[in-house]
Copies of this chain bind each other. A is one copy, B any other.
């Protein structure tokens, strides 16, 4: 599969790379990258490649869509609203638990190094904990810390009864072994759900993972809360990362959801033909506006995990965020779609809080 932003209109434009929540979806591009709005070229593109000679004319229509048009098109899956609902539910449960057994769920977050984006995510997670009444514990270590030092903190958190979830903010400094560090987190406190034992249990029928990774869990939760049927549907997951694509596919298929799932990835030939047959599309590939309206089956439900910043001089910050799916084209074709931002993004932290609460309940056997 040669996937790229197919609506390029400037060979010299630059794609901005920011971290999405958890810094998990964005990939670095190789080759010339272009920036533009989709919605301008609705013809079916069989195989997309990075274009060194972009079309000379580009009619930007996306930004011109009126409110009336939006109302007449796809249902907008409001992740911000659902995340708020979930956080309210968590607040109630945290309070009930505290009143009943005097236990407050606790999340430990470790930040190693000075990355600004990572610092922002950690701050957001801390704030989110506060907002629902979960205790947060933060450890910040300098970039040049020894791996053993990180492991010591993890070990202490593993043993600390006030901590029910441990999260190590990624990426780690290059001299550290990510596998060693993530594997050191107790399976009972792995609220990110990235431990291979959790993934194995997720893949196996009749087994239950202790935790489901937050972003894919958020995708499924959106489908559930909006009442979209999954059982028996054809689902396509675009992207096969360990933290979104692969677990999302496993969730859709195994865990009582019963969809028929295909994973589309960088080696897939004619991805658009496969996506076109899907009733449910989850895209987590980190390429702006890659999935065009022509790729989508009329009436499909689209969950767009990508959060891709692209240059836009008309925006105050000089960039705007777009998903993997060309929203303006897609909303005229599909029955429902998540916006970017305000779709899956807010769900990830809500699911992290949910996993931390579940962990505390399990550890204290509180129903």
- A contacts, CB < 8 Å to B: 179, 195-207, 231-232, 234, 240-242, 246, 250, 253-254, 258-265, 267-269, 274
The answer to whether A260 touches B250, judged by C-beta atoms less than 8 angstroms apart, is no
Q: Provide the bound-state CA to CA distance between A206 and B268, in Å.
A: 19
The answer to whether A260 touches B262, judged by C-beta atoms less than 8 angstroms apart, is yes
Q: Provide the bound-state CA to CA distance between A199 and B260, in Å.
A: 20
- The chain B residue sitting closest to A196, CB to CB, is B200
Known contacts A232-B267, A263-B260, A268-B232; A179/B201 CB under 8 A? no
Which listed residue, B197, B253, B260, B268, touches A197 by the CB 8 Å rule? B197
Contacts of A204 in B (CB 8 A): 196, 199, 242, 246
Contacts of A253 in B (CB 8 A): 240, 263, 265
Which listed residue, B202, B232, B258, B267, touches A260 by the CB 8 Å rule? B267
Q: List 16 A-B contacts (CB under 8 A).
A: A196-B207, A200-B200, A200-B201, A200-B202, A203-B203, A205-B242, A232-B269, A253-B265, A258-B267, A260-B262, A260-B264, A260-B267, A260-B268, A260-B269, A261-B263, A262-B262
Q: A240-B253, A246-B254 are in contact. List 13 more A-B contacts (CB 8 A).
A: A195-B200, A196-B207, A197-B200, A205-B246, A206-B242, A232-B269, A234-B269, A240-B254, A253-B265, A258-B267, A260-B264, A260-B267, A262-B262
Copies in the complex: 2
Q: Provide the bound-state CA to CA distance between A242 and B202, in Å.
A: 11
Known contacts A179-B207, A205-B241, A242-B204; A231/B199 CB under 8 A? no
The answer to whether B199 touches A203, judged by C-beta atoms less than 8 angstroms apart, is yes
The answer to whether B265 touches A258, judged by C-beta atoms less than 8 angstroms apart, is yes
Q: Provide the bound-state CA to CA distance between A198 and B200, in Å.
A: 7
Q: Provide the bound-state CA to CA distance between A242 and B254, in Å.
A: 10
For residue A114, give the distance in angstroms from its CB to the closest CB of chain B: 25
For residue A9, give the distance in angstroms from its CB to the closest CB of chain B: 30
Q: Provide the bound-state CA to CA distance between A53 and B1, in Å.
A: 47
Q: Provide the bound-state CA to CA distance between A126 and B261, in Å.
A: 39
Q: Provide the bound-state CA to CA distance between A246 and B202, in Å.
A: 11
Contacts of A197 in B (CB 8 A): 196-197, 200
The 6 A-B pairs at the shortest CB distance, nearest first, are namely A200-B200, A196-B200, A199-B200, A258-B267, A262-B262, A260-B268
Contacts of A205 in B (CB 8 A): 240-242, 246
